[in-house]
């Protein structure tokens, strides 16, 4: 029984082994077939790729051959063109030489006929063209200048008229009071005091001359400084009202009056700055403006004049599109130098500019102050406007009290002084007597003598004439050549 099982197992194992061998052989054959198929496919694909690449190579070779043929054809065409150009260059060079020979012959013939060289003819032609061009340019320039001048004058008249109409100032300005009325002539003796001690104390304290004469019920105060005169006037009025007049009382009233005038000066300066719409001024400049309340020029109050100039300059600046704030500020400060001209020597424009510069005003404002009477040439529109506004304010009807007769006499005297010198042909008083222009004979006076003449005329004017401010002396020497085309 056991042997039977063993045999069956052996048979079964043999059978299983045989089956496994058959399956292995089958799978081996299948694997070999798959590999062969894959190799075949790869070979087929490779052959196809090789054929495509060969076809591309053939196509590119054909294209390269075509390009080489085209290049050969172009090279041949270029060689033919080069030969043609070389032939033309030779022909052109030959013709150019022929033309140069003909040009030289014609030039020689023309010079022989004209009787002048080529260079001479060229210079003559250029000179004639230059003269014609200059003549036409001069005519055009003259026409443009005439039109510009006419238009400028028209606009200037409109602007000045508008500015004057908008600034409605009083025609007559207030003047500084220098006469103090007395209730009775008996007070004159008390003012003088025993052996003149009161009047001496008063004059010593105030620095003002007290004149007591035969004028009924009045005494006169005399001083070159208007602020001192105002303090003295208030002091004397207080003493008269109090009735007690002696040196100690004079000193007490003087101190009170000084404080009052100082306060009044500050208030006047602040009020003027506010009225002119000018802000940020240094306190010392405000005080200097207030001091102008006690200065007059031919009856015109300098403070009111400064405010008027500020308004006029601002209005004209607005019309012209200039800096309104700068024009108003410079207009208000333009006569600031008059506040200290009793303390510092020199033109008030220069003094005022230096004072404004010291208190940190801008360079444009300082320049406008210095230039408003011509001490320096104006370099900005605002400086010109301040000078124009100053002239308008001073010269408008009723602004100043100087009579026409005395005004005309002063101008005539000014011109006669200048015309009294040898070599002077004519003189003209300009800008309401602020400038004298002296025309001299050029054959009699040279440039160096002109400068000396200006100094001499200015010195004689200072010695012989009384006038406000300063007078500019301009000596003009010119030579003119005149011909007439007939």
Domain with residue 467: its CATH number is 3.30.300.30
Three-state SS letters, 58-80: HHHHHHHHHHHHHHHHHHHHHHH
pLDDT at residue 171, as a whole number? 41
Pairing assessment for the beta strands 435-440 and 472-476 based on DSSP bridges: parallel
Pairing assessment for the beta strands 300-301 and 296-297 based on DSSP bridges: antiparallel
Burial track 254-291 (b if 16+ CB lie within 10 A, e otherwise): beebbeebeebbeebbbbbbeebebeebeeebbbbbbb
Q: Are residues 192 and 154 in the same domain?
A: no
Domain boundary among 335, 363, 395: 395
Instruction: Determine the Cα–Cα distance for residues 38 and 432; give it in Å rounded to an integer.
Output: 124
HSE-CB for 38 with a 13 A CA cutoff: 6
DSSP letter assigned to residue 475:
E
HSE-CB for 374 with a 13 A CA cutoff: 13
Q: Are residues 356 and 427 in the same domain?
A: no
Instruction: Determine the Cα–Cα distance for residues 165 and 312; give it in Å rounded to an integer.
Output: 10
Domain assignment present for residue 145? The answer is: yes
pLDDT at residue 133, as a whole number? 82
Domain assignment present for residue 49? The answer is: no
Q: Are residues 188 and 329 in the same domain?
A: yes
Query: Block means of pLDDT (10 residues each) for the chain, length 486 residues?
Result: 78 84 86 87 88 89 89 88 88 87 79 70 78 79 80 67 56 52 79 83 83 79 79 87 84 88 88 86 88 76 86 86 88 85 72 88 89 83 87 64 60 84 82 79 84 88 78 82 73
pLDDT at residue 236, as a whole number? 86
* DSSP structure string for 102-165: HHHHHHHHHHHHHTS-HHHHHHHHHHHHHHHHHHHHHHHHHHHHHHHHHHHHHHHHHHHHHHHH
Q: Are residues 188 and 289 in the same domain?
A: yes
Domain boundary among 362, 395, 428: 395
**Containing domain of residue 465, as a range?**
404-476
Q: Are residues 423 and 366 in the same domain?
A: no
Structure tokens at 366: 């300082």
Domain assignment present for residue 127? The answer is: yes
The CA-CA-CA angle for residues 64, 66, 71, to 5°, reads: 90
Q: Which helix or strand (DSSP H or E) is residue 476 part of? A: strand 472-476
Domain assignment present for residue 161? The answer is: yes
Q: Can you tell me which residue has the tokens 């006038």?
A: 467
Q: Can you tell me which residue has the tokens 């210079």?
A: 123
Domain boundary among 361, 395, 429: 395
Instruction: Determine the Cα–Cα distance for residues 229 and 179; give it in Å rounded to an integer.
Output: 10
Structure tokens at 247: 């040196």
Instruction: Determine the Cα–Cα distance for residues 79 and 164; give it in Å rounded to an integer.
Output: 91
Q: Are residues 105 and 133 in the same domain?
A: no
pLDDT at residue 172, as a whole number? 42
Q: Are residues 324 and 337 in the same domain?
A: yes
Domain count along the chain = 4
pLDDT at residue 399, as a whole number? 53
pLDDT at residue 343, as a whole number? 63
Instruction: Determine the Cα–Cα distance for residues 307 and 316; give it in Å rounded to an integer.
Output: 14
Domain assignment present for residue 291? The answer is: yes
Domain assignment present for residue 75? The answer is: no
Q: Are residues 111 and 122 in the same domain?
A: no
Structure tokens at 53: 């690449």
| pTM confidence score | 0.51
HSE-CB for 269 with a 13 A CA cutoff: 23
User: How many other C-beta atoms are found inside a 10 Å radius of the C-beta of residue 473?
Assistant: 22
Instruction: Determine the Cα–Cα distance for residues 421 and 423; give it in Å rounded to an integer.
Output: 6
Residue 456 C-alpha from the chain's centroid:
36
Q: Are residues 357 and 418 in the same domain?
A: no
Are 440 and 423 a contacting pair, CB within 8 Å? yes
pLDDT at residue 176, as a whole number? 42
């Amino acid at each position: 029984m056991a042997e039977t099982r063993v045999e069956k197992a052996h048979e079964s194992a043999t059978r299983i082994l045989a089956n496994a061998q058959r399956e292995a052989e089958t799978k081996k054959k299948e694997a070999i077939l798959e590999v062969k198929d894959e190799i075949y496919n790869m070979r087929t694909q490779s052959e196809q790729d090789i054929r495509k690449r060969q076809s591309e190579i053939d196509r590119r070779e054909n294209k390269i051959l075509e390009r080489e043929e085209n290049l050969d054809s172009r090279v041949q065409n270029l060689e033919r063109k080069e030969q043609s150009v070389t032939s033309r260059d030779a022909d052109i060079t030959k013709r150019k030489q022929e033309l140069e020979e003909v040009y030289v012959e014609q030039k020689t013939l023309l010079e022989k006929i004209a009787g002048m060289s080529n260079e001479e003819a060229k210079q003559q032609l250029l000179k004639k063209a230059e003269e014609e061009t200059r003549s036409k340019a001069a005519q055009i320039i003259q026409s443009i200048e005439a039109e510009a001048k006419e238009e400028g004058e028209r606009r200037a008249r409109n602007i000045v008229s508008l500015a004057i109409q908008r600034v409605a100032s009083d025609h007559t300005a207030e003047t500084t009071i220098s006469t103090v009325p007395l209730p009775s002539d008996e007070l004159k003796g008390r003012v003088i005091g025993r052996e003149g001690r009161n009047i001496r104390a008063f004059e010593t304290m105030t620095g003002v001359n007290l004149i007591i004469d035969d004028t009924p019920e009045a005494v006169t105060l005399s001083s070159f400084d208007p602020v001192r005169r105002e303090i003295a006037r208030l002091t004397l009025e207080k003493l008269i009202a109090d009735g007690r007049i002696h040196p100690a009382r004079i000193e007490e009233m003087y101190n009170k009056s000084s404080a009052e005038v100082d306060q009044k000066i500050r208030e006047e300066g602040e009020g003027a700055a506010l009225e002119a719409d000018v802000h940020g001024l240094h306190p010392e400049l405000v005080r200097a403006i207030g001091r102008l309340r006690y200065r007059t020029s031919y009856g015109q109050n300098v403070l009111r004049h400064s405010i008027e100039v500020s308004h006029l300059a601002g209005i004209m600046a607005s019309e012209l599109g200039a800096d309104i704030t700068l024009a108003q500020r410079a207009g208000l400060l333009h006569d600031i130098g008059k506040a200290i001209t009793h303390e510092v020597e020199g033109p008030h424009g220069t003094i005022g500019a230096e004072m404004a510069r010291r208190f940190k005003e801008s360079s444009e404002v300082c320049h406008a102050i210095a230039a408003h009477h011509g001490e320096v040439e104006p370099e900005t529109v605002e400086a010109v406007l301040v000078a124009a506004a100053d002239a308008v304010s001073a010269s408008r009807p009723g602004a100043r009290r100087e009579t026409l007769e005395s005004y005309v006499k002063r101008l005539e005297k000014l011109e006669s002084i200048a015309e009294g010198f040898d070599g002077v042909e004519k003189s003209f008083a300009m800008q309401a007597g602020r400038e004298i222009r002296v025309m001299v004979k050029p054959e009699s006076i040279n440039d160096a003598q002109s400068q000396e003449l200006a100094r001499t005329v200015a010195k004689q004017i200072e010695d012989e004439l009384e006038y406000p401010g300063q007078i500019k002396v301009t000596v003009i020497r010119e030579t003119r050549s005149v011909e007439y085309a007939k």
